[in-house]
Structure 1
Amino acid sequence: MAVEERGAAGPQRLVGAEGDYDDQQLEASLRPGTLDDFVGQQRVRAQLSLVLEASKLRGRTADHVLLSGPPGLGKTTLAMIIAEELGVPLRISSGPAIQHAGDLAAILSSLTHGEVLFLDEIHRMSRPAEEMLYMAMEDFRVDIVVGKGAGATSIPLDLPPFTLVGATTRAGLLPGPLRDRFGFTGHLEFYSVPELELVLRRSAALLDLAMTSEAFSEVASRSRGTPRIANRLLRRVRDWALVHGVERIDARAAGAALDMYEVDVRGLDRLDRNVLSALVGKFNGGPVGLSTLAIAVGEETETVETVAEPFLVREGLLGRTPRGRIAMAAAWEHLGLDVPDHAAFKDPALRTALSTEPGSADRGSTGSGSDDASSA
């Protein structure tokens, strides 16, 4: 059984944090409307609540807000809650959609007083639009250039006070001048299993779905710490129960449904397991170069590096070193294999490399240079 759903933008992994059209429709009905209803992220919620309450007491627009973190953790939901808590309209756009300064000027000039402007993936805006945004955020005005060459004229345009909410999955790509203009920055963390159970209980109640506590725990444990994935898996479990005539879903039914979609007990799907199996079975645990590993599993290097690796590294199943990728002890154990004495992670030099932050040498391993040569 395939583990992919096909949406408007192409195939989607069942355990991928990116959302498709159906996910957006489902999330719209499941999204909380207030900070009190929002599950998890207690630190960010408390800080954001203070910022919003202070702005209402001052009678002024709230400071600009930057939300960062992996996809699927609730950045868009928090932007909607900010507008709801402030009682103002919400305007939604995205960085990739703003490729010219004129695009941003058109959006800013149509804002009303106090309106919240949400820019998703703000780090992907064009540089001219970024530079226009600096002045808009700080002075609430923009300069529009009319004409070209010596006859060009700059026309200042005053803007009503507004609140910009930016969301990014890669905060490091934001230029310093833009990042410094946000009055509040919140980083969203992955959810724990108990927090995901609360998310699932709320979603199941809205979907009128009967489940046992053990079933909620089963789905939450396979959701990779991401509410969006949890809700997607819940939908698949609901479909399985509907087809099989199960009125009350228990842990066995939830496990059977997710096993059918090849999502295992740790949340790994077919691609994740193929990467680990190739690393352990074909290369004795590594080290092996990224491009060699990608060829072994029949995928593009970008797919292995950006889709499979982040979760495998976070779970301690795979290690990234200057000499290549290696299988950690947990990878052997997860595949039901004994950890061999020659396992690569036991090499003192590789242990030292694992204890340091991956740098340029690690990024260079995506090519076919010495990294791949070491695995030949």
Structure 2
Amino acid sequence: MANERFITSELNAREENFEATLRPQVFADFPGQDRVKERLRIMVEASTNRGEALSHILLCGPPGLGKTTLANIIANARGSGIKSTSGPVIEKPGDLAGMLTGLNEGDILFIDEIHRLPIQIEEYLYSAMEDFVIDIMLEQGVGARSVRLNLPKFCLIGATTRQGKLSSPLRSRFTMTCRLDYYRVDELEKILTRSADVLNIAADTAGLHEIARRSRGTPRIANNLIRWVRDFAQVRRESIITGPVADQALTMLDIDKDGLDEMDNRIIEAILVKFRGRPVGLKSLAVAVGEEEGTIEDVYEPYLIQEGYLLRTPAGRVVTNKAEMRFGIKGIGGDVSEQPRQPELF
């Protein structure tokens, strides 16, 4: 058992090192998200000129778009130290107090998945973010007393994939909220070009384009796929990743030319065939395709909606004409506008 834990720890460490190697360190090396980068540049430059700590920043958007990378770029641009953690890790007020008191003036505390903070921990953040103090309760019952700790002026950068899960009091304490969107194919090509250089992978423009357009608009997926295509090319004894090589490698993963994988297709097909094109609730859809509701809602639906294959309506999930044309199946249930508008029961 101890040996298994050691192996798992080693694998996780290698994966983190791989991610760190590919992450840009400055804004200039971070393709895409131009409007977000410009806002952050202005904030960093203004705080540097004033000699003050950065205001608190909330980064939100689907997973894999670069929220953690941006937090580190901000710290580098500001010349500040950064301490990183995640919401589920902070279980007690003492955990939070230890991290906050360990910061220096102007440092950054980065909390990933901040929407998963326990509510009692979240409440301690209110005074920390506004007044840079935190009150810790010592003991309980009759002898209970609180101790106020003064904190250095710091910047909290929160990252979340589910902004709506944050409470209003916490969300309102962030000065700037930046939403990251899916990347265009040309932006992903720039990311893959840099990754190929860092990993010493030989690939031509057609090969990188093939990977980019099947990466669901997500840099993390693109970087994972280029590693797989590299392995495929090596085993097949190809000296360079070309368009045909990338196509064969990704087809083996059941990723088609539109970037849809097996589960994407199962979701669309289930609505068209099993539910005859009629609106379907999330719970029923999850049962039909054998996947968890949260996974469908957070991982698969955003891209299907973004690409115009799926819609959420008050009656439930429905497919679009684009999805019907893709499968050559016309939903038997008729046009969605003709469906009765009743509350979704599942």
For normalisation by structure 2, the TM-score amounts to: 0.90
Q: Kindly tell me: are residues 302 and 75 of structure 1, through their superposed partners in 2, closer, same or farther at Cα, counting changes over 3 Å?
A: closer
Deviation at 1:224, TM superposition (A): 0.7
Residue 28, structure 1, aligned to residue 17, structure 2: no
Corresponding residue of 2:248: 256
| Deviation by residue 1:68-116 (Cα, 9 ceiling, x = unmatched) | 1111111100111111112222111111111222221111112122211
Q: How does 1:220-231 map to 2 (within 5 A)?
A: 220-231=212-223
Residues in 2 aligned to 1:182 and 1:226: alpha-carbon distance in whole angstroms: 25
Shift in alpha-carbon separation, 1:343–1:96, aligned structure 2, 3 A: same
AA matched with 1:88 = S
Is structure 2 residue 105 aligned with structure 1 residue 93?
no
Contact 1:275 1:293 in 2 (8 A): yes
1:134 touches 1:178 (CA, 8 Å); kept in 2?
yes
TM-aligned CA distance change 1:21 to 1:137, over 3 Å:
same
Listed as ranges, the matches of 1:3-152 within 5 Å are: 23-152=15-144
Q: Is 1:191 paired with 2:183?
A: yes
Q: Deviations for 1:166-207, whole angstroms, at most 9, x for unmatched residues?
A: 111111222222222222221111111111111111111111
Residues 57 and 256 (structure 1), Cα distance of their counterparts in 2 relative to 1, 3 Å cut:
same
Tell me the TM-score normalized by structure 1.
0.83
Aligned residues: 338
In structure 1, what is the Cα distance between the partners aligned to 2:98 and 2:286? 44
Gaps of 5+ in 2: 1-6
Structure with greater helix share of residues: 2
Q: Does 1:159 align with 2:151?
A: yes
Unaligned runs of 5+ in 1: 1-6, 10-19, 354-359, 368-376
Partner of 1:348: 337
The Cα shift of 1:301 comes to 4.1
User: Would the alpha carbon gap of residues 235 and 345 (structure 1) be closer, same or farther in structure 2, given more than 3 Å must change?
Assistant: farther
Checking the alignment, whether the CA contact within 8 Å between 2:87 and 2:115 is kept in structure 1 is yes
Which whole-Å deviations, capped at 9, do the CAs of 1:26-56 have from their partners, x for residues lacking one? Answer: 2211100111111111001111001001111
**Equivalent position to 1:361, from 330, 343, 346:** 343
Distance 2:187 2:283 in 1: 37
Q: Do the aligned partners of 1:114 and 1:163 also contact (CA within 8 Å) in 2?
A: yes
Structure 1 vs Structure 2 CA RMSD: 2.3
- Give 1:190-339 correspondences, 5 Å limit: 190-335=182-327, 337=328, 339=329
| Residues 6-29 of structure 1: CA deviation (Å, up to 9, x unaligned) | x969xxxxxxxxxx7665332211
Deviation per residue, 1:284-333 (Å, 9 max, x gap): 32334444443333334444444433322222222333444333222222
What residue is the counterpart of 1:370 in the other structure? none
SS state of the match for residue 136, structure 2?
strand
